Structure 1
Amino acid sequence: MNPPPLPPRLPKEAGLFLRVARLCGLGLVSSLAGSAVHEADVCIYGGTSAGVVAAVQTVRMGRSVILLEPGQHFGGMSIEGLGGTDIDNHRNFQNSPAVGGLALEFYRRVSARYGRTDEFEEMLRHRRKQRDLWRFEPHVAEAVFAEWIKESGIKALPTRRLAEKNNILKEGTRIVALRCDNGDEFRAAVFIDATYEGDLLAAAGVSTVLGREGNARHGETQNGIQTTSPRSHLDCAIDPYREPGRPSSGLIHGVQDQPIGREGDPDDSTQAFCFRLCLTKDPDNRLPIPKPSGYDPARYELQRRYLAAGGKITPPFAGLPNGKTDPGSWHRLAGNMPGFNDGYATASHAERTRMLRESREYIQGLYWFLANDPSAPQETRAAWSPWGLCKDEFTDNDGWPRAFYVRNGRRMVSDFVLTQNHGRKLDPLPVEDPVGLVWWPHDLHEARRLVRDGKVWLEGIVFDSSTDCDWTPFGIPYRSLVPRRTECVNLLTPTCPSATYVAYGAYRIEYQFMNAAQAVATAATLAIENQIAVQNVDYHRLRKRLLKDGQILAPPSP
């Protein structure tokens, strides 16, 4: 039996939520006394790049929208330091042909800000591979998103975080309203979770998963525990014990006391987070990175031993406009924090705040160590000391990003699961309902930093950009963006698809989030127009509209 239809769009004189309430037989008006009530056709939770794109598309299709952001800034990682966007930045493949629709409009708007429109369009016409034309500074991206929001007339509300209790009102399998921790209520016909963490999915009772499935679960080869990865070894052998050679003395900071496990087995760990700092050498724009008040050199013993063994922790390079850079994990000992972030996606608001604070203190101490600590080689200090934070970036947070680079949050579990096998090079599983294009390798950073054979060893790394690699571009299936109809019929997500851990490693790129966001917003408006569940949206109509709007659904001919 099909679920009851979604309510039609209401005339201006009628309140959408009141109509829904009457249809559902709910008495909600009195229960909401004293709170601010907001209504729209579509409510988007998460002001990431995907959230903004979904809002723009909703408005362009003639529907009202509310965009909610738990923090104070709109744009997600594109404004939190990830300016070295992963487009045309690898020697062995060119993925810019996958950027279409509103994602391409975003990059065009960025180019206009830099006065490089002609150069950008010439690159597109001739399919040239020019990495630097896709890159930007965080404050420029934020200005683009802000301008987009304003000219589109989007009701964008910052500091609207889901309440930790009693945050979702559902009638059967339909979300009727969500409540934020300031008491505001938001009512809509369709909701979109555009967070990296999957917070709205979880609150709405949609099945999600964290961590790594085993290879056997979906017939994959790169999921679960990775014991044979050629990238797992540091280039110097490092003793992991506080007293070298004595396991009983305990482990140095950053090395985890866990068994390795067996190849391909499931594991609760996820790839490491980091901060994507924005740094400069320009003395007129440089903020020195100060020594933290609680600086403890023992926290950087791993780096000290590595450098003493002849290892090189290479400094950043100016890969962004105006001589800036966005280091996150260019070296495995200079940014990633494996093990620390495993519980972030499911943590409380207070716990997330604590994790961010403690992580910033650690990274600040690490960068100070590399530039100043006498135990670091002079060559290392000379290379790192010219770099500092930027005065014109993250100006409300002393030059520091305000968010983690969340490489893995919750992933939805739906009737369809995107797997590594949809993107394998030989005989890939077909994607019959593509709404965007993934053009990136299965890319996973280390999940754990362990002891193997008495040495520090990195576990969980997957990446291959070589010409003979075992991956190929593949479509974003619409079925991976909608929940099971038995769980929710008016919720979609562009950022937390139904995908395995390794498949998500290829999916998790900002422009691909934007691609999926345009698709789910289009589907949401079609669901409203036809008064149907999001699972019942006609794919052929959806495809036709996406192509009309410039979305890329398949690789172009050579």
Structure 2
Amino acid sequence: MRILPLALLFAPCLQAADLQTDVCIYGATPGGVAAALSAAKSGAEVVLVEPTARLGGLLTSGLSHTDFHSFESLTGSFLEFSQRVKAHYIKTYGADSEQVKACFEGTFGEPKVNLFILEQMLKEQTRITVHKQAVLTSVDVEDDAIAQAVFTTGQDTLQVKAKVFIDGSYEGDLLANAGVKYHVGREGQDQYGESLAPEKDDGQLQAYNFRFCATDDPNNRVPITAPKGYRREDFVAVLDFLKPGKIDRVFGYPSRCIVKAQTPALPNRKYDLNDVSRGLIRLSMPGHNLGWPEGDEATRQAIYEEHLRYNVGLLYFLINDPAVPEVIQQPAREWGWCKDEFTETLHLPPQLYVREARRMVGQHVYTQQDSEHAPGDARAKLFTDAIAMGDYGNNCHGTSHDGPQIGGKHGGEMYNPVPPYQIPYGALVSKERNNLLVPVAVSSSHVGFCALRLEPIWMSLGQASGHAAAIAIQTGKPVHEIQLAALQARLHQDKSATVYIADVLPGHPQFEAVQWWGTAGGLHGLNPMPDKPGQRGKNLHGQYFEANPGHAAELSRAMDESTRNRWLKLAVNLGLPTEDLAKAATRGEFIQTAFAKKR
């Protein structure tokens, strides 16, 4: 959601001026924040502009059960963020506390803690200037480059001139205003050859809902009250489903419930509430969000209020209406909003979960095939120009709804398992503007985007965008002409992975070397494709698993003839002398020797 209550949205901003900077970023989403941090680390002066009063997007607005599959996929900016969250809980409650255990290595942070950590990270970078409550109004373009962006800040304007612009918004507002081509809706199967796409293209959009933060702790609970415009008759139909064998609780996990109260709980007995995938009753509202991507502030505000009225109204009805069976209602009465969360917005998340809006049509359109297995390989398709990687899958909560909101059925859902995958630089780069990077409304098909739209991946894409912007400025090149090897090296130095490697993680002494070698293709072809595509490791709980099998570098493993010959051939292709490489006894020795020669 990019809207706050109007009193907050249009509150006067004390700082309205003309600014000149190296990098201007619009949207302090996780991707936008990561872009600001990396650009500043690379020496650039940064202006980060956020249209609302709260930084962090959904990471600080209710999405606290972070979506990922294995810890080994968390690197770079998101890993640093999650480690800081864990450190906060250790400092506050003690290393052996329940809060530290509940934070799941820092990936399950309370919204207020996530906000505190992101603000702290930004404050540490003195090259970053943050402007909140500044809404984009126009973009000036000169000679295929964005010259300046203009923002409204209450009654004033903020004009920012920059050498490179980054669109960190969920909606792609900056790219659209800059005249960059984008797509809204689903492409048909014939456009990109995607089996998960609909037969014909349409205007359907992945549904939105709120990610509430709730608790059953009576000491930190405030009642769920009726939202503005509440009408009892809108929710009476839910009574037909509150029967044995259908739905047996309001708050639960993973099914037979109205809302998903994701387990285990967050620290301090809080829960991230979400839509129940394939559920009988849904929080998500396909079709009711179609005006959002290209809508003005008033249109988005109306959609925000409609979702709030339905999402909160449904819970209020179930907790308070006398027609609800006592066996359902009594346990639900133990729940409420968290007294210490979202205190500025009546304990409700200030942002709606915008799962999909505009998507840039850039130099590389990321599609379904890009996250599928390479032929016969445990690994996904190789991208030697990768600047990020992810480990999730094509996930869509629905794009259409047949029948009434309560009692109908979603269409367009998908939950497609894939191996960890790479993301090429071209997905960040537009065709039209030589100084624009887009890490959130990233260039992708609808199906492809459903694998990318996750906070850890957005932060990796943002991190790559920030470093790329700095390199472009330092070398005087357009963003699409920078040296990718230099960008990849900077990312690896910054502990961000460009290929998934299960046993060589950030902090390992050979992390940079193994990332370089793996991104060049050295780790592809080592293990066969599993019998089940997207096969995962042992389940930890819910959607979380141990490391993906077939993705380890095994540095201590002795070199076999087949691997040595294949790696020597790759070394030749990379222009490396091979005399010492031929003598390497182990995989680790070979990679480290090759990396030393590369430098």
In the TM superposition, 1:50-89 aligns within 5 A as 50-88=31-69
Residue from 73, 80, 101 that aligns with 1:98: 73
2:469 aligned partner, one-letter code: A
Task: Mark the CA change 1:516 to 1:309 in structure 2 (over 3 Å): closer, same or farther.
Answer: same
2:134 corresponds to 1:160: yes
Aligned residue runs from structure 1 range 229-244, under 5 A: none
Residue 481 of structure 1 corresponds to 428
Q: What residue in structure 1 maps to residue 412 of structure 2?
A: 460
Q: Which residue of 2 aligns with 1:534?
A: 479
> 1:497 corresponds to which residue?
442
Contact 2:287 2:399 in 1 (8 A): yes
SS of residue in 1 equivalent to 2:85: helix
Q: Distance in 2 between matches of 1:266 and 1:527?
A: 36
Contact between 2:86 and 2:103, CA under 8 Å: does it hold in 1?
Answer: no
- Kindly state the Cα deviation for residue 84 of structure 1 after the two structures are TM-superposed: 0.6
The 4+ residue runs of structure 1 with deviation greater than 6 A are 116-120
Whole-angstrom distance in 2 between the partners of 1:318 and 1:293: 32
1:70-92 CA distance string (max 9 Å, x none) = 0011111100001111134xxxx
On the 8 A contact 1:87/1:134 being kept in 2, the answer is no
Report sequence identity in percent: 33
1:386 and 1:522 mapped to 2: Cα distance?
48
Counterpart AA for 1:169: D
Q: Which residue of 1 aligns with 2:313?
A: 365
Q: Is the 8 A contact 1:441 1:463 kept in 2?
A: yes
SS at match of 2:147: strand
CA drift of 1:103 comes to: 1.5
Matching residue's letter, 1:212? R
Aligned AA (1:168) = V
2: distance between equivalents of 1:309 and 1:550? 51
Q: Do the aligned partners of 2:472 and 2:478 also contact (CA within 8 Å) in 1?
A: yes
Name the structure 2 match of 1:115: 90
Give the corresponding residue for 2:370. 422
Residue 452 of structure 2 corresponds to residue 507 of structure 1: yes
CA distance 1:53–1:426, shift in 2 (3 Å): closer
What 5-or-longer segments of structure 2 have no aligned partner? 1-14, 252-260, 502-550, 553-599
Could you tell me whether the CA contact under 8 Å between 2:102 and 2:108 is conserved in 1? Answer: no
Q: Which residues of structure 1 form unaligned runs of 5+?
A: 1-33, 89-94, 121-127, 225-263
> CA–CA distance in 2 between the matches of 1:99 and 1:309?
41
Offset from partner CA, 1:356-396 (integer Å, 9 cap, x none): 12221222210111212233222221232211011111110
Q: What is the rounded CA distance, in whole Å, between the counterparts of 2:269 and 2:228 in structure 1?
A: 29
Does the CA contact (< 8 Å) of 1:269 and 1:448 recur in 2?
yes
Alignment of 1:72-221 (within 5 A): 72-88=53-69, 95-115=70-90, 131=104, 133-153=106-126, 154-163=128-137, 167-182=138-153, 183-221=157-195
C-alpha deviation, 1:552, in angstroms: 0.9
Matched, 1:407 2:351: no
From 412, 418, 438, the equivalent of 2:390 is 438
Tell me the residue number matched to 1:520. Answer: 465
Q: 1:80 to 1:68 in 2, by over 3 A?
A: same
Greater mean deviation of Cα atoms: 107-116 or 302-311: 302-311
Using the alignment, how far apart are the partners of 1:412 and 1:462 within structure 2?
22
Alpha-carbon distance between aligned partners in 1 of 2:366 and 2:135, rounded to the nearest angstrom? 29
1:81 touches 1:277 (CA, 8 Å); kept in 2? yes
**Structure 1 match to 2:196:** 222
Aligned residue for 2:135, secondary structure, equals coil
| Corresponding position of 1:272 | 207
Alpha-carbon shift at residue 58 of structure 1 (Å)? 1.2
* Number of the residue aligned with 1:320: 266
Q: How many residues align?
A: 461
What displacement does 1:545 show? 1.1
In the TM superposition, residue 310 of structure 1 has moved relative to its aligned partner by: 4.3
Tell me how far 1:291 sits from its aligned partner. Answer: 2.6
RMSD, aligned CA? 2.3
In structure 1, how many angstroms separate the alpha carbons of the residues matched to 2:309 and 2:354? 18
**Cα 1:293/1:494, change in 2 over 3 Å:** closer
Secondary structure in 1 matching 2:430? coil
CA distance in 1, matches of 2:349, 2:67: 19
Letter in 2 for 1:362: Y
Cα pair 2:362 2:443 within 8 Å, conserved: yes
Question: Could you tell me how far 1:407 is from its partner in structure 2?
Answer: 0.4
Residues 102, 515 of structure 1: 8 Å contact kept: yes
- Go from structure 1 to structure 2 and tell me whether the alpha carbon gap of 1:480 and 1:200 turns closer, same or farther (over 3 Å shift): same
Task: State the secondary structure of the residue aligned to 2:149.
Answer: strand
Q: What letter is aligned with 1:437?
A: M
Q: Secondary structure at the match of 1:55?
A: helix
Partner of 1:238: none
The equivalent of 2:29 in structure 1 is 48
Q: Which string of whole-angstrom CA distances, capped at 9 and with x for unpartnered residues, describes residues 49-76 of structure 1?
A: 1111111111111110000000011111
In structure 2, the CA distance between the partners of 1:437 and 1:368, relative to structure 1 (3 Å rule), is same
Q: TM-score, normalised by structure 1?
A: 0.79
SS in 2 for 1:327: strand
SS class of match (2:201): coil
